Amino acid sequence: MNKILGVFIVIISFLLISPTAEAQKQYTIVLDAGHGGKDPGNLGNGYKEKDIALKVTLKVGKMLSDEKDIKVIYTRKTDVYPNLWKRGEIANKAKADLFVSIHCDSYQPRPEAHGAGTFVLGLRGNKKNFEIAKRENAFIVSEENYKDRYEGFDPNSSESVIGLSLLQEENLDKSLQVASIIQTDFTQKAKRKDRKVKQDNFQVLRETVMPSVLIELGFLTNKKEGAFLNSKKGQIKMATSIAKSIKEYIHQLKLNTVVTDVLVEDTVTSDVEFKIQIASGKNKIATKSYNFKGLQNVERIKIGSFYKYYYGNTSDYQQVKKSLSRAKQKGYKDAFVIALKNGEKVSVQDAISNQ
């Protein structure tokens, strides 16, 4: 009876408190106009990438500025060149929720090439990013409430390295989420050719430790698209798509927080659990063992438009370590342990000390 009452109260308080707390949260968006100053970017058809990128970026910022829960920071507002490391640092220091870098593409050999695309960090870049994320620890721990933000991050513990790769996984999920919203708007509303969401190792994306995307508005080397992107009308159209997509992404973040909390509370009663995250992505895969290299009892949880796959649910840390090596043996080299306490994600270290 007590347990049921407890769960009931927790659900009610999530319903009541969580949306309110979330509604008050300010989301910091860092907008990065590509190139600038000494670096003009591409010069297709005589247009300047750095100028078009800046104009669109400033328009996006202006469109977002009327939202009281959004705070906009620019890496540049004029014709100057902050280096790529500096751009990342601006976002990292601001503890940004999202980093958006805006560019224009070019392809001289095929001037007919056109269309808009959005990039997220590729897997090889992710390894480099992991090193940067570790290097960022120095300031992460000097920040107030870093514990909330980096989920129990302690640079001296090996569990925290696991926590960090979880954070990276989540960043990639969220980067894909915002990228797909942007691409949908580009194609459906701005009527651009869809060059899809892609992964690539843009250096500027390697420097940031939050969800980050790089947008290629279109090709300046294409006569028609170059003229469109250089026009005020074209710039407003593209900026509108980007600003609307960022608002939609934040809206989804708010919804996800509430929905996930309630769902988890509903299924978990109490105490600490450990499990292994073996995979995540947009594909919904049946949790049959033949789809997971023979691993049994795989769980699938939907978070936003992504699926996460877990294995080896247990309250015993020693047991979950065995499951981890089993998952790795099976080929899930990037598998890692996550911990839940009363259905909420906590750091593994926290969970162990609460056992």
Residue numbers of the site for Zn ion (CB under 5 A)?
34, 41, 103
Report d(CA 29, CA 96) in Å as an integer.
Answer: 6
Q: In whole angstroms, give the CA distance from residue 287 to residue 290.
A: 8
Cα four-point dihedral sign 87, 179, 146, 123 = negative
Which CB sits closer to Zn ion, 190 or 214? Answer: 214
Q: How far is the CB of 36 from Zn ion (least distance, A)?
A: 10
Closest CA to 281 of 342, 205, 338, 197: 197
| Nearest residue to 301 (alpha-carbon basis) of 332, 261, 342 | 261
Contact assessment for residue 348 and residue 162, using Cβ atoms and an 8 Å cutoff: yes
Helix runs in the chain, H state only = 2-24, 49-64, 84-93, 123-135, 137-140, 146-149, 158-188, 203-206, 223-230, 232-267, 317-329, 348-353
Between the alpha carbon of residue 340 and those of residues 7, 124, 290, 301, 316, the distances in Å are 15, 29, 27, 14, 12
- The residue among 41 and 88 lying less far from Zn ion, judged by its C-beta, is 41
- Nearest to 28, CA basis, from 83, 76, 90: 90
CB of residue 110 to Zn ion, shortest distance in Å: 18
